[in-house]
Amino acid sequence: MIARLAGVIVYLVVATIVLGYLGVGGYRAGFLWLALAIPVVATALAWRVLRNVDTNTALWCVAVALIGITACAKLVDLAPESTARLAQHLDGLNLPFFKTVRETRSGHGWCRPHCPRVERQYTVPRTAPRAAYFTVLLALRQHHLLDVNERLPDVRAAGERVVTRTDRYTITVTAAPPTARIVLQSR
């Protein structure tokens, strides 16, 4: 029985390492893909390997499924977010009178050559640069991309780069009305 379970354990370890390296957990439906690849397949494998053995097969399958689900949750937690998810965050920003002019996406979930990154350029109302920066930074905070306790920087000159780092993102904001640029990169 131990030899049969060793194959299931090897599958769990190899699948977790490979899917973690590829950054699948950071994709939009990452947990779903991981759940199909790790706990579902491992549980089916455990059922097939143990069904004719004199043991409590159902209990072993439940244990394998729980281990697989835990591995999936950890991979989702550790994976950098994909470019699609980063773009989704930027779509959710409340930026009144801002119009998207250009968007560039780059990077991969395994952070080679660099982590996923979305750069968006907007046309903004012709206001003071300070107002454009404040609008963008406040929208980032409201969307929980910036820490609530962090003080918003007071930028007075146009074209200054404001870089903030959280545990999940690096955000660069540059505003020189009539344009503004936001770069959101996973870490």
Average pLDDT over residues 69-95: 90
| 124 vs 178: CA distance, rounded Å | 5
Quote the pLDDT of residue 72: 93
Q: What is the pLDDT of residues 89-127, one digit of tens each?
A: 999 999 999 999 999 999 877 776 788 999 999 999 988
Q: Where are the domains of the chain?
A: 2-78, 83-186
- Output the pTM of the full model: 0.72
Rounded Cα gap, residues 24 and 15, in angstroms: 11
pLDDT recorded at residue 24: 83
Phi (first) and psi of residue 122, to 5 degrees: -125, 155
Q: 135: which 2 tokens?
A: 């609008």
